[in-house]
A and B are shown apart, each in its own frame.
Chain A
């Protein structure tokens, strides 16, 4: 395994499958009466959040606590950062306090990469979302959810997403989730299609390992999973599309459209959903929608990432089984 997790593009197929398999083991912990492993006892992890993100921060915190790590939450608001302290000084201050790993969420694309490669600190860096660049643990939890649903919880172990057809719909231009998913899903052998109005597809997308379509209805029948990306309302003021209603009509997922998907296909969303915009309540609340599962899986996947980056060389599997056998 690598020292840091900055981009989904840095993961090999075997790295990714190892993380997903490890996450399945972690998920079993969640089913036990005591949902805690001693793996990271005595290690301190800092969740360094320069951008508001309650759900990602809580997910990491839950993962860290289930691995018995000591957790420090650092939110930029109200901290020295709001008084003008630099990222470098903040990170060095934290490291001086004995932090063993930094989980960072930052509004600037590349900030985690900078933190990991500039010699500012030595601790492993885990990217919890940077600007419009990457959100690798989101891509991993999405892939985990897809593998469970489309391949199987037990039959999926050791396997990737070869041949699965995955469609991502929405604001690709500003989406770190889309970038991470395209990279990881491609590595795992899936066929990815991005659907968006042309204004929300980046110039330069032609080198991405995926197809581009402007027509959702044509792609839906050929999709094993459809992931709806959030469209922020402020995009409306920048002429990316004429009105919210028009966006919903052309690119939103409602019950009628969902019916065009194959029987087995699932609907995914990284959250938070904007109901009535990219997804209707009918779809969001349907059995085919995996949003709540994705949240639960997020904890398992983040446990796996933390374990593999910070843990020993033993696999989590033997470790947990030994505990169980006592």
Chain B
């Protein structure tokens, strides 16, 4: 494999440096590095980040290849600057056995665009009754460390407790989709002023917050770590902040869409805004941004949820929940966090690479940009301004809430272990 010299990028938004990649590895970081024998990328004005890591992606394969496959999903990930994604377990069949997680893992390897780390289901069939063979999934070739019934809440307190305890044996973590099921029967959108007017079934904040409160207390009681998926309310932020202040080993993620959009968008009845947990209020959005800035929320995770066109081109109640997000995540974070002054690029590197890799125990990802480290890198042009056109997506699905919206920033290059997966903004 040949050499690549990234010349004059601001590493993590800081000092302007040259970065020399040889083979799969970063071999030198400094100024005025020799370009001899290397392909040169002029990166003046661009930000060099560690390859992004998404702890929450739905790749849909096996089962719903009409909406996404491991190949199309990892191409979308690379386009968005990701070098590793954690694939959620709610496929068909569910990723609740070593066989299924190994299949997804192998498909990821074959794709070559992005490392795929399968997430295992906590319970058999995501049904919340019986623990899946968590140890077998961990011991498989896929080496599963993150377990989640995402899409469904592990609502049975005993099952949740046992899962939290059990995965300690192999340093696993349970990622909870916090949604009290009884409080969200028929839920269509955030419960509040807008749902009252629109006549859509309410998804109250308390349905999320009550589960998070219970789970941080369970984690404290059994001495386990717990991860909270797509935290969406100001109240949840307060609970996690309190738990961390008590020393409870809790981590939390926020999606890009919850950092930008509110339930006011639902007034259009356009199901492209239908997502679970639902878009909340302005107050929640501001609390989430602040929490991501101060570290109460550890990471940004996309909850990339592809759906075929017909599942969104319909009336609200009939539509599927979810949004694609891999290809717009960094731009939304730039707009909501960097351009608001809440987070610098080093902070973005932490929330979108270092921290998610640490929580998921992803080897070789979320590493510093320094000599001897794997060359998983993302180069961003922050000055770029573009209007989102879903036709440009590498994802097989187009269900983005940002169509027609101007967003800042663009991933110009992505390197997966030294190999360029994106060159000049295009998939290589």
Contact = CB atoms under 8 A, between A and B. Distances in A.
B27 interface: no
B196 interface: yes
A106 B315 contact: yes
Contact of B200 (A86, A109, A114, A205): A109
A204 B269 contact: no
Interface in A85-126: 86-88, 106-111, 113-114, 117-118
Contacts of A132: 199-200
Nearest to B266: A110
A108 B316 CA distance: 7
B318 interface: yes
A176 B199 contact: yes
B316 A204 contact: no
Contacts of A113: 269
A203 B196 contact: yes
A179 B197 contact: yes
Contacts, number: 79
B73 interface: no
A110 B268 CA distance: 9
B265 to A, nearest CB: 13
A108 B202 contact: no
A163 interface: no
A204 B191 contact: yes
A202 B313 contact: no
Contact of A204 (B197, B310, B315, B318): B197
A86 B310 contact: yes
Nearest to A9: B197
Contact of A131 (B194, B202, B317): B317
Contacts of A87: 314-315, 318
B316 A208 contact: no
A134 B198 CA distance: 8
B204 interface: yes
Interface string B167-195: 00000000000000000000010011111
Given A86-B310, A202-B202, A203-B191, A110 B315 contact: yes
A319 B200 CA distance: 42
A114 B199 contact: no
A66 interface: no
Given A110-B269, A113-B269, A114-B269, A205 B196 contact: yes
A287 interface: no
A92 to B, nearest CB: 12
Contact of A114 (B191, B193, B316): B316
Contact of A202 (B196, B310, B318): B196
A7 to B, nearest CB: 9
A205 B200 CA distance: 13
Nearest to A203: B191
B316 A109 contact: yes
A219 B191 CA distance: 28
A207 B196 CA distance: 9
Contacts of A109: 188, 198-200, 269, 316-317
A179 B314 CA distance: 23
B266 to A, nearest CB: 9
A111 B191 CA distance: 19
A133 interface: yes
A256 interface: no
Interface string B83-105: 00000000000000000000000
Nearest to B271: A114
A133 B194 contact: no
A324 interface: no
B171 to A, nearest CB: 41
A254 B202 CA distance: 33
Contacts of B188: 109
A134 B269 CA distance: 13
B194 A204 contact: yes
A206 interface: yes
Contacts of B192: 203-204
A204 B194 CA distance: 7
Contacts of A205: 196
Contacts of A108: 315-318
A133 B313 contact: no
A110 B270 CA distance: 9
Contacts of A204: 191-197, 202
A243 B193 CA distance: 29
B200 A110 contact: yes
Contact of B199 (A88, A131, A206): A131
10 contacts: A86-B310, A86-B314, A86-B318, A87-B318, A109-B200, A113-B269, A131-B317, A133-B199, A202-B195, A208-B197
Given A108-B315, A113-B269, A208-B196, 19 more contacts: A86-B310, A88-B314, A109-B199, A109-B317, A110-B198, A114-B270, A114-B316, A117-B268, A118-B313, A130-B199, A131-B199, A131-B200, A133-B198, A133-B200, A134-B199, A203-B191, A203-B192, A204-B195, A204-B196
Interface of B: 188, 191-200, 202, 204, 268-270, 310, 313-318
Interface of A: 86-88, 106-111, 113-114, 117-118, 130-134, 176, 179, 202-208
The 6 closest A-B pairs by CB, nearest first: A204-B196, A110-B269, A133-B199, A132-B199, A108-B317, A202-B196
